[in-house]
A and B are shown apart, each in its own frame.
Chain A
Amino acid sequence: MMASRTVVVTNPQGLHARPADLFVKLATRFASKVELVKGQERVDGKSILAILTLAAVAGTRLSIEVDGPDAEQALDALAKLIEQNFAEEENHPS
Chain B
Amino acid sequence: MQKLQGIAVSPGVAIGEALVMDNEGFRIPRRFLARDAVENELDRLSLAFNAAAGEIEHNRDAVSRELGKEYAAIFEAHLQMLRDPRLRGELEQMVRERHYSPEYAVSRTLRRYAKVFQSLDSGYMAERANDIFDIEKRLLRNLLGRRREQISNLTSPVLVLAHNLTPSETANLDRRFVRGFVTETGGAGSHTAIVAEGLEIPAVVGTGPFLTDVSGGDVVIIDGDQGLVILHPDEETIARYRHEVEQRRTMAARLESLRDLPAETQDGVRVQLDGNIEFPHEVRHCLERGADGIGLYRTEFLYLGADVEPDEEAHFNAYAEVVQAMGGRPVVIRTLDLGADKLSSPGLDIERNPFLGLRSIRISLRNTELFRTQLRAILRASALGDVRVMFPLISTMLELRQAKMVLADVMEDLEEHGRPFNRELKIGMMVEVPSVVIMIDQFVEEVDFLSIGTNDLIQYTLAVDRSNKDVASLYTASDPAILKLIELSVQAAGRRGIPVNLCGQMSGNPLYTMLLLGLGLRQMSVPPSAIPEIKKICRSVTIAQCEAVAARARRLEHARDVKRYLKEELKQVLPELVG
| Chain A residues at the B interface, C-beta cutoff of 8 Å | 14, 17-18, 20-21, 24-25, 44, 46-50, 52-53, 55, 57
Contact = CB atoms under 8 A, between A and B. Distances in A.
B128 A17 contact: yes
B117 A52 contact: yes
A31 B121 CA distance: 33
B80 A25 contact: yes
The size class of the interface chain B forms with chain A is 20 to 34
A57 B80 contact: no
Given A18-B76, A21-B76, 19 more contacts: A14-B124, A17-B77, A17-B128, A17-B131, A20-B77, A21-B77, A21-B79, A24-B80, A24-B84, A44-B86, A46-B85, A47-B84, A47-B87, A48-B84, A49-B81, A49-B84, A50-B84, A53-B113, A53-B117
B81 A48 contact: yes
29 contacts: A17-B73, A17-B74, A17-B131, A18-B74, A18-B76, A18-B77, A20-B77, A21-B76, A21-B77, A24-B84, A25-B80, A44-B86, A46-B85, A48-B80, A48-B81, A49-B84, A49-B86, A49-B87, A52-B125, A52-B128, A53-B113, A53-B116, A53-B117, A53-B120, A53-B125, A55-B120, A55-B122, A55-B125, A57-B124
A53 B86 CA distance: 13
Contacts of A52: 117, 125, 128
Interface in B138-190: none
A20 B73 CA distance: 11
Contacts of B87: 47, 49
Contacts of A17: 73-74, 77, 128, 131
Interface string B200-244: 000000000000000000000000000000000000000000000
A48 B113 CA distance: 12
The prevalent SS among residues of A at the interface is helix
Nearest to A14: B124
B126 to A, nearest CB: 10
Contacts, number: 53
Interface secondary structure of B, over-half rule: helix
A18 B79 CA distance: 11
A53 B116 CA distance: 7
A49 B85 CA distance: 10
Interface in B59-84: 73-74, 76-77, 79-81, 84
Contacts of B125: 52-53, 55
A21 B86 contact: no
Nearest to B126: A55
Shortest 10 CB-CB distances between A and B: which pairs? A17-B77, A47-B86, A21-B77, A55-B120, A48-B80, A21-B80, A18-B73, A49-B84, A47-B84, A21-B76
B116 A48 contact: no
Nearest to A56: B124
B77 A55 contact: no
A81 B125 CA distance: 21
A93 to B, nearest CB: 12
A40 to B, nearest CB: 15
A53 B132 CA distance: 12
A48 B87 CA distance: 9
